[in-house]
Amino acid sequence: MARFKEIEALYIHIPFCNRICTYCDFYKMLAKYDAKAKYIDYLIKELDLRKPYLSNIKTIYIGGGTPTSLDNDLLERLLEAIEKSVDLTKVIEYSIEANPLDLNLIKCNLLKKYHINRVSVGCQSFNKERLKFLGRIHTKTDAYDAVKNLKKSGIRNINIDLIYALPNDKFSIFKKDLKEAAKLGVNHISCYALILEEHTMLYKYYKEGKYSELDEDIQAKIYYKTNKYLAKYGYNHYEISNYARDGYESIHNLTYWNNEYYMAIGASSSYY
């Protein structure tokens, strides 16, 4: 284990989702309230056990799963426990992953109340057919409302996740999603190529002959053109899948890329 003072990043995993997407291979599950409540109980105990390692935390990242799918009372219990275990005056970036459907103004105000200052919104696309293929049930309007509510609550550091390399994809199609994201005025955009993973619905479609991966050369063209396109909107390509305006790079994610120590708690998480 690294010396206490060297650990400056904390990851917390929430495995719950309200719906399982076709492509996702992260550790996740559907669960009822009682199971979620029990998980939060144990997560709080683990936080307490790890407290000696959390004295110098600079970044916190709550991922999943879908952390914002937690009922507000459970989410608040977790955020209160984090506040008791970590000196938030030292924290410069406090992130959480979110589904657009969860981000009503009440939820956004709750995040702001507990000093979360960065939200990563899993839009994936603004196109109805692309969203349907990915197993997403939110709409373009839901995504717009989510960003609007975050800004209204005072949270301005917003990331939008997008996915490309869907069947028959090409840059002229994906560009429409990029344009929508930039139009929203968010300061960070993540663009991930769709990857075929075992134990997903997408893999089942593949085995049944209902899905084939996009040609790698086409994927490369989309990637290259994305870099050039987002640069026109002021987004710097600072990491393989990530683009940010000046000063909005994800400090927490750079911890991993820079091979720095971090602590992680929750099911399936690992620390270094």
Domain spans of the chain?
4-265
Q: 238: pLDDT confidence band, cut at 50, 70 and 90? A: very high
Amino acid 241 reads S
Rounded Cα distance, 239 and 16, in Å = 28
pLDDT mean over 18-39: 80
CATH of domain 4-265: 3.20.20.70
Q: Is residue 149 within 8 Å of residue 110, measured between CB atoms?
A: no
Q: Is pLDDT at 29 greater than 70 in this prediction?
A: no
Higher pLDDT, 257 or 270: 257
Alpha carbons 17 and 99: distance in angstroms, whole number = 9
pLDDT number for residue 27: 61
Q: Which long-range contacts (CB under 8 A, 24 or more apart) does 202-209 make?
A: 202/22, 202/23, 205/22
Work out the burial of residue 113: count CB atoms within 10 Å of its CB; fewer than 13 is exposed, 13-18 middle, 19 or more buried: exposed
Reported as a pLDDT band with limits 50, 70 and 90, residue 18 is confident
Read off the pLDDT of residues 75-124 as tens digits, 9 standing for 90 and up.
999 999 999 999 999 999 999 999 999 999 999 999 999 999 999 999 99
Look at residue 3 in the predicted model and tell me its pLDDT: 58
Report, as an integer, the average pLDDT of 210-217.
90
User: Chain-wide mean pLDDT for the chain?
Assistant: 93
Beta strands 236-239 and 242-244, pairing class:
antiparallel
Q: What is the pLDDT of residue 139?
A: 97
Which ranges of 17-159 does DSSP label H, i.e. alpha helix?
33-50, 72-85, 105-113, 128-134, 140-153
The burial class, CB within 10 Å (0-12 / 13-18 / 19+), for 177 is buried
CA dist., res. 153 & res. 18, Å (int): 24
Q: Is the pTM of this model over 0.85?
A: yes
Once rounded to an integer, what is the mean pLDDT over residues 234-239?
Answer: 98
Spatial contact of 27 and 13, defined as CB atoms under 8 Å apart: yes
Omega within 30 of 0 (cis) for the link into 234? no
Beta-strand ranges (E) seen in the chain are 9-14, 59-64, 93-98, 118-124, 157-164, 188-193, 236-239, 242-244, 263-265
Q: Can you tell me the distance from the alpha carbon of 47 to that of 14, in angstroms, rounded to the nearest whole number? A: 13
Residue with tokens 């028959």: 168
202 against 175, higher pLDDT = 175
Mean pLDDT over residues 194-205, rounded?
84
Can you give the pLDDT at residue 201?
Answer: 81
Among left, alpha and beta (phi > 0; psi -120 to 50; other), residue 9 is beta
